[in-house]
A and B are shown apart, each in its own frame.
Chain A
């Protein structure tokens, strides 16, 4: 597999980097403190075609290739992981609809998602159901030409501003997925604040009380909600989070490069201290290794190779741990400055920790990756 970027991909990376440096990075600390991103930024992302960029051109999307999409995710995350979260969840929902939605659902929702006018959010986790997704307690009951949803969702990223939710519920103990529009009577959205990392990702709790949706809003078939619909969304999410983790680690390296060169202790720059240099070395090599795993996963995903599932999981597992290691060392190199709000590395550490939890925790990956590896004999 050729892991070198094409000229076109390098050009797009430059474009993404310039946009993130101008429109995102200068404000990321404030958005983190305010726990929200402004509507103006969402508009700019929309204008740039960065929302729904994996959707086909026929639907109004840009249909970037998987590698280019990864570069977008990395560059945005390098500036702000919360903004990266918006791209991630929107694309997870769009991908699940494109993959398993009916023709009617695709026609109804994907064009506006491709234009970024309609934002998607994933409503899977609940107070009592996290990694064990099959045990969601939310129910959906058939009633004439409708489904009636009852239950509660938690940790819904960008639930505060999303217009469309991909909701997972039990239909007589069989998991199923549904699309629920924000304005549907019986759905209440409550902001969820005070989280540690990706603080501007505008989490919400969703309450469904007699929430009635059309019969045709079932995505896929009853019984396949987790194994296929959620699996497709989460696989897309893992790919995005893997690249996003590379972005965090690269941001840590960027911050440490200048700090370790400028800051002097014992009469020499920090970078001249061997123990600091060791941390920088680990960071430099880890970022390269994580990026290579992402490139490999992207190549396999682009070609539709069945091996992409394993490689995407491996990339997410490694890259998220790299992000935490890099951010932890970055704070250490910055010393007391590293735990202040005056330097971004404390945000990077908080954001990096989230990467190890979402779209399959580190421990779930540790259980699953060997299953992939040993399922073929």
Chain B
């Protein structure tokens, strides 16, 4: 699955939480103010289930989850996909 497909899936998931907002790949989801601890854990579960990766302790960095592109990059690194 390429980055474009990954980003589309991430956007589809996040868009459920950002009503009436066309979330852009670089947009800071924390700055938008909708991320709480409920979404934080669901986001980890979504990424793991959807992309078959294991988010580990060293990945606990807000910058890894700050935007669609950041999450996509994390997935690429975890799966060893070319950047």
Q: Residues on A close to B: CB < 8 A?
A: 100-102, 219-221, 224, 226-228, 231-232, 235, 303-309, 368, 371-372, 375-377
Asked whether B45 lies within 8 Å of A220 as measured between CB atoms, the reply is: no
Asked whether B49 lies within 8 Å of A227 as measured between CB atoms, the reply is: no
Can you list 8 A-B contacts (CB < 8 A)?
A100-B57, A101-B57, A102-B58, A221-B61, A228-B44, A231-B41, A308-B45, A376-B17
Complex Cα gap A220–B41 (Å): 13
Residue of A nearest to B49 (CB): A304
Complex Cα gap A100–B59 (Å): 10
Query: Which residues of chain B have C-beta atoms less than 8 A from A368's C-beta?
Result: 38
Contact with A along B42-65 (1 / 0, CB 8 A): 111110110000001110110000
Of the candidates B45, B49, B58, B60, the one whose C-beta lies within 8 Å of that of A309 is: B45
Asked whether B16 lies within 8 Å of A376 as measured between CB atoms, the reply is: yes
Query: Which residues of chain B have C-beta atoms less than 8 A from A231's C-beta?
Result: 37, 40-41
Given A228-B41, A375-B38: A221 and B60 within 8 A (CB)?
Answer: yes
**Nearest-Cβ distance from residue A244 to partner chain B, whole angstroms:** 22
Query: Which residues of chain B have C-beta atoms less than 8 A from A220's C-beta?
Result: 57, 60
Query: Which residues of chain B have C-beta atoms less than 8 A from A305's C-beta?
Result: 45, 49
Query: Which residues of chain A have C-beta atoms less than 8 A from B17's C-beta?
Result: 375-376
**Nearest-Cβ distance from residue A96 to partner chain B, whole angstroms:** 11
Asked whether B37 lies within 8 Å of A303 as measured between CB atoms, the reply is: no
Sorted from nearest, which 6 A-B pairs have the closest CB atoms? Answer: A377-B19, A306-B45, A306-B42, A221-B60, A304-B49, A376-B16
Complex Cα gap A224–B16 (Å): 24
Residue of A nearest to B19 (CB): A377
Asked whether B60 lies within 8 Å of A224 as measured between CB atoms, the reply is: yes
Complex Cα gap A221–B55 (Å): 13
Given A303-B49, A305-B49: A100 and B41 within 8 A (CB)?
Answer: no
Complex Cα gap A376–B46 (Å): 14
Whether, in the assembled complex, B39 has its beta carbon less than 8 Å from a beta carbon of chain A, the answer is yes
Residue of B nearest to A101 (CB): B57
Asked whether B49 lies within 8 Å of A375 as measured between CB atoms, the reply is: no
Complex Cα gap A227–B43 (Å): 12
**Nearest-Cβ distance from residue A213 to partner chain B, whole angstroms:** 16
Complex Cα gap A221–B64 (Å): 13
Of the candidates B37, B46, B57, the one whose C-beta lies within 8 Å of that of A306 is: B46
Of the candidates A226, A232, A303, A309, the one whose C-beta lies within 8 Å of that of B42 is: A309
Asked whether B60 lies within 8 Å of A228 as measured between CB atoms, the reply is: yes
Asked whether B49 lies within 8 Å of A372 as measured between CB atoms, the reply is: no
Q: Which of B57-83 contact A (CB under 8 A)?
A: 57-58, 60-61
B38, B48, B61 — most chain A CB neighbours (10 Å): B38
Asked whether B39 lies within 8 Å of A227 as measured between CB atoms, the reply is: no
Asked whether B57 lies within 8 Å of A309 as measured between CB atoms, the reply is: no
Query: Which residues of chain A have C-beta atoms less than 8 A from B43's C-beta?
Result: 306
Residue of B nearest to A375 (CB): B17
Residue of B nearest to A219 (CB): B57
Given A219-B57, A377-B16: A309 and B38 within 8 A (CB)?
Answer: yes
Query: Which residues of chain B have C-beta atoms less than 8 A from A309's C-beta?
Result: 38, 41-42, 45
Query: Which residues of chain B have C-beta atoms less than 8 A from A308's C-beta?
Result: 45
Residue of A nearest to B40 (CB): A227
Complex Cα gap A102–B40 (Å): 20
- Beyond contacts A102-B58, A376-B16: 16 other A-B pairs, Cβ-Cβ < 8 A, are A100-B56, A100-B57, A102-B57, A220-B60, A221-B58, A227-B41, A228-B44, A231-B37, A232-B41, A303-B49, A305-B49, A306-B46, A306-B49, A308-B45, A377-B16, A377-B19
Residue of B nearest to A371 (CB): B38
**Nearest-Cβ distance from residue A181 to partner chain B, whole angstroms:** 19
